[in-house]
Amino acid sequence: MKRAVTLKENYEFRRLYQKGASAVGGGMVLYCRKNRLGHNRLGVTVSVKLGHAVVRNRARRRLREVYRLNGDKLRQGYDIILVARTRTATAPWKDLNSTFLRLCRKLDLLEGEA
RNA sequence: CGAGGAAAACAGACAGUCGCGUGGGCAGGCCGAAAGGCCGUCCAUGAGGAAAGUCCGGGCUCCACAGGGCAAGGAUAACGGGUAACGCCCGCCGAAGGCGACUUCAGGAAAAGUGCAACAGAGAUAUACCGCCUGUGCGGCUUGGCCGCACAGGUAAGGGUGGAAAGGUGCGGUAAGAGCGCACCCGACGGCUGGGAACUGUCCGUCGCUGUAAACUCUAUCCGGAGCAACACCGGUAUGGGAGCAGGAGGCAACUCCAAGGCUGGCCCGGCCGCUCCCGGGGUGGCUUGAGCGUGCCGGCAACGGUACGCCUAGAUAGAUGACUGUCAAAUACAGAACCCGGCUUACAGUUUUGCUCGCGCC
């Protein structure tokens, strides 16, 4: 993955919330849906309910990082949305990483696994 | 050494591996006719003391306006200075607190007018309830006087109420009393002294006035409105978002279930396109060199000013600083620029420095 291709428009987010598959795990929620673009797109949602700007920034950066480090393991051609929860900013990094992989496996997003 | 109070600085550092924004470089790669774009790589740089709250003061932009005045509304309130300006800062005065260093302050006017002051209390700019005193009348008695009652008058010393009773204490004075007189004290005003001024005082004179303006009000000074989503340009381009476009079945109905414009397609996803209504966008500039920062010297008690030299220090646009490992005793606080400055307010773990006050000990 070179530069991260991101979802920006509000309608794209709403389409995923309504029609995409989802999985919930400690510290995050993952939505995904095929997009037929041949590559993946990432959207990150951090609600103001999580806290002030510093907390929100930290949650968003950690979710982007976990996607960046594991992006090459994923099947291509999906839109993915990560939604932050309160624990996203405070949970240990290893827990966050394993949670992301577990959610991807649940939604059959990992490359090379059936 | 202990306790206290003031001012200032910092806001994890270093190393390594991945990763991001911005700017610049490259006989580099790909695309393109070109302008250029994308990628790679290297270098530089990349959040705060409050970036926060959006409470004041400005710059900048547009709108209104000939100039000026009046009214309304709002803000401020000792004095002197600083500043682009301020409701900010410094100095100083006054008041309150502290042994002290020092801290705190909604600090103009109640001789313009209106209002309010509950309850208590006899009376709240004004009063005679009790008491005290004088006189007259009547009565009594232990009869040169005393006591009781009634009436007329004097009295704010005493009692009681209250936040406050109209200066306080003492002496004189008086029928009893009263600033009525005197001494000291307190307060207000005027003079004089000192000070640049607010103000001040072992001085002089006059006076003794209820509180409340965070009640209306009056006085003095200041204030046109909206904000970078401002505004300017690119061009009349590119073309976005939302809802509807289909009905059928069950049921009296509310409602429930299935299905839901056209094309591609076996189906899902995805893509493209048409009609009606509604809502509106895109790109670039503004955007960081500025009442700038650092150091030295000069002036000033200080805020600050002057001068010389040096420095360039984020400009994103769904929004860049993150992850992991190691070392340091620990670093886990409050918290993220969004046009830019000067302040105020609020939040805050921990560390360091400077000078100061009080107490104890030693020389």
Per-residue pLDDT at A12: 58
Per-residue pLDDT at A108: 74
Reduced to 3 states, what is the DSSP secondary structure of residue A95? helix
Report residue A25 as tokens.
């795990």
Q: Is the ipTM of this complex over 0.95?
A: no
Structural domain count of chain A: 1
Per-residue pLDDT at A50: 77
Residues 6+ apart with CB under 8 A from A83: A28, A29, A30, A31, A45, A46, A47
User: Is A31 within a domain?
Assistant: yes
pLDDT digits (tens, 9 = 90+) for A20-49: 667 777 777 887 776 655 667 777 777 777
Reduced to 3 states, what is the DSSP secondary structure of residue A108? coil
A35: domain range?
10-106
pTM exceeds 0.90: no
Residue A112: band (very low, low, confident or very high) from pLDDT cuts 50, 70, 90: low
Per-residue pLDDT at A4: 40
Is the C-beta of residue A57 closer than 7 Å to nucleic acid chain B? yes
- pLDDT at residue A70 is higher than 70: yes
Per-residue pLDDT at A20: 63
The CATH number linked to A82 is: 3.30.230.10
User: Is A79 within a domain?
Assistant: yes
The A 68-87 residues near strand B by Cβ under 7 Å are 68-69
CA A39 to C1' B203, whole Å:
100
Nearest one of A7, A88, A18 to A46, comparing CA atoms: A88
List phi, psi (to 5°) of A33.
Answer: -165, 145
User: Is A32 within a domain?
Assistant: yes
Distance CA A92, CA A96 (A): 7
